[in-house]
Amino acid sequence: MSDKQSERQTDGANAFASLDNDAALAKLDSSSDGLSEDQARQRLDQYGANQLSEQHTPLWRVLLSYFWGPIPGMIEIAAVLSAVNADWDSLAVIVAMLIINGGIGFWQEKSAADALASLKGQLALKARALRDGTWREIEAALLVPGDIVRLRLGDVVPADVKLLEGDYLSIDQSALTGESLPANKKTGDLAYSSTLIKEGEMVAVVCATGAHTAFGKTAKLVESAGATSHFQRAVLHIGNLLIISAGALSALLVGVEIARGMPVLELLSFVLIVVVASIPVALPAVLSVTMALGALALSRMKAIVARLESIEEMAGVDMLCTDKTGTLTQNRLTLGEPTLLDAAEDDDIVLYGALASRAENRDAIDTAIIEALPDASVLKHYQQTRFKPFDPTHKRTEASIQTQDGTEFQVSKGAPQVIFELCALSGEALTRAQKIVDSAAGRGFRTLGVATSRADDGWHCLGILPLYDPPRADSKQTLANARAHGIAVKMITGDNTAIAREIARDLDMGTNIHPASALLMDESGQRGVSAEAAQAIEDADGFAEVFPEHKFAIVKALQDAGHIVAMTGDGVNDAPALKQAEVGIAVSGATDAARSAASLILTAPGLSVIIGAVEEARRIFERMMSYTIYRISMTLSIMVFVVLTMLIYNSYPLTTIMIILLALLDDIPIMTIAWDNAETSQRPVRWQMDRLLAISSVMGALSLAQSFGLYLLARDVFGVALAQTQTMMFLAFIAGGHLLLFVTRSRHPLWRPPYPSWQLFTAIVGTQITGVCFVTFGWLMPSISWAAIGLIWLYEIAWMMIMNFAKLGTYRLVEQRSRHHRRFLGVLTESLQPAATQRRRRDS
């Protein structure tokens, strides 16, 4: 294929708009007979797959990331120093720790990524292409410029195409352009990727694929959007805090010990190992694995996680902006109570409306009317001899009907004003009919006029049919559940305000619905909003008459007000808002652009999946929080204990090999915290660093007191030799560390559920048995007696109960302080608001 052809792909489909069909086929080196498989394969190699590009990190880079960075680097330096000192036991354990931490983290992440990739593969679109003279169904990703494709009712256009053969297509382009009405296409017109065919069937030639389509170019606009993950900030903050603390204590220890004359290499090796044991080596891996397993749990709930960090963000969501159509409602029109004009009975209007419809067109309005018939078999008594479908110009359908006895008549249905004009309504009849339409519109109903004509009698308006999209059966309960979970839900819809308010009233959402354009500074919605409008956005129950470009401004305004926002969407124009939101949710049936920008992809309709995902995310968050508190507490305890005892007694409280073994035995069972049972908070949860550090500091201080107490008892009270004292401290850190985890894993007393999962409990028991074996049989350390082991365990259990009550008291104090702080801020904020805003908030 020539370079000239490759250049044409970059021009996109618009380069073919002015060409006739023969010229377009010639430019694409194609024909009405399509391409051969060999041609298609060559063009696929040249142009690439017909899909939006995704960034895939090679497996070797993922694996390397577990052995590259500040923390793994410190472990590797410690290994080198152990080798220089010929401390082969320490070297072996250090290498084992490095491989186990990295290997487990890599394997879990890979397994989760493979499972999620498999689930995403189920979303792939198909296309009908003419290859080697035969129509066959292939994956849309394999289409290339020059392919001949067949498009028909219900299809998603798989690429930018030029229409070659057929009568017409009615295409819903709202996902791309925001247009509310379908666009009519004929031979020679262009149809764009990811738009939906509502009517018709045509043959077309592919002009542009992948990133070169209008859809792909628009999707690139989302690259500048996006919010930094709270999870990433929290992990970075915690890591930096601990590294700085470890560095400061290590510098103090090095300075003092060098002054005392300790060999530099020996001291440096020990200090590095202390730092490695103190810093949460497994923190990123544990948190990532926890979220990866959570992602698999969500996939079983029909929610595919595209960005792992969004799980943590989802736990803190306090504002959900949701579409109306198809999410809160069924996206299926339903017939309301008809209003009679010239008809004798309600059933007559429905029957004549059904006769003016065609079931095989699968039009939403036609289907709703036909389904409303008391007995659909009545249609067998009538024959449609002619049918004129709805089009945006005439705004009505018309059909000629023949009965079984040969009687002929015409029926029509369509926009009420068009039917009124067709029937020449005037005077009091027109006024009455118009009032009916206005009343229905005020209650959120769309309306259709139905008319009939017999012989030369002219057209008669039989009556008016109201239509509405009813709420989903589970929407009301789901919204109540969302409010119970501390999530405010705002409806966002392109429908008019009256319809939005009617649906909101049915769902008990509140009727403070604003037209979106009234709140934005300009009609594009890109310049942001005024302070007054920002407050109105925060107070509103929803927004009507929303264009896709307004959504980004609404999300940004809510984020600027301090909310963590989840946003649903399905179109390419929703993509910037989906990416800007902390949790962008592509609903069932969303376009590729929406899926690419979203962090959560739903494969089932409705909101109930989202609430279930929030509950799972909050459980995952509790697991991460409990591990983080435990890890910070242990870090503070080990670091300060080792440094202080060395400074006071000028001797090692633990040997190098003991410290390395502690790090290894601590991290292995900690991996199972991803399966631990956790409570579900009824309020949104966030990383509150002051609270986290307060709890961690109290637990760390008590752990330090516990360790020092045992060390003083063994060395100064009972006169135990240094070697056996070191072994006792090794066992104490293993037992006390995991008992501390039982304390920190819940903010409730130890004896209240949720209880530890069998995976976590089994792993901890296994680790304790291993630790007891080391100290009993003297593996890599001097042995101690069973009596000493029993006394250490009793000592640690007593301290566990002390720390449990200290934890409860600390949480109580932190909560009281937080409530006073929130109350003060609320009063201050209210007093600073303009009087008009306060009045409006009270009125709403």
C-beta separation of 164 from 21 below 8 A? yes
Q: Strand, coil or helix: what is 24? A: helix
CA distance 709 to 724: 16
Question: Euclidean distance between the first and final Cα of the chain, in Å?
Answer: 65
- 570 catalytic? Reply is no
Q: Strand, coil or helix: what is 750? A: coil
User: Do you find a cis peptide bond into 158, omega within 30 degrees of 0?
Assistant: no
Determine which one of 155, 318, 323, 666 is catalytic: 323
């595209």: which residue's tokens? 306
Beta bridge partners of 31: none
CA distance 601 to 305: 6
CA distance 782 to 788: 13
Helix (H) and strand (E) counts for the chain?
29, 22
CA distance 738 to 591: 48
Concatenating the DSSP letter of every residue in 206-260 gives: EEE-GGGSHHHHHHGGGGG-----HHHHHHHHHHHHHHHHHHHHHHHHHHHHHHH
**Tokens at residue 406, please?**
């040969």
Instruction: For residue 748, give the DSSP letter.
Output: S
With vertex at residue 606, the alpha carbon angle to CA 569 and CA 304, rounded to the nearest 5 degrees, is 65
Distances (CA, A) of 186 to 150, 153, 163, 175, 200: 14, 15, 7, 20, 10
Q: Strand, coil or helix: what is 160? A: strand
Q: Please give the backbone phi and psi of residue 410, each rounded to the nearest 5 degrees, phi first.
A: -115, 150
CA distance 844 to 833: 16
Identity (one letter) of the amino acid at 195?
Answer: T
**Tokens at residue 296, please?**
């698999």
CA distance 230 to 459: 65
Contacts of 441 (CB under 8 A, 6+ apart): 447, 496, 498
Smallest Cα–Cα separation from 527: which of 546, 549, 542, 547?
Answer: 549
Catalytic site positions? 323
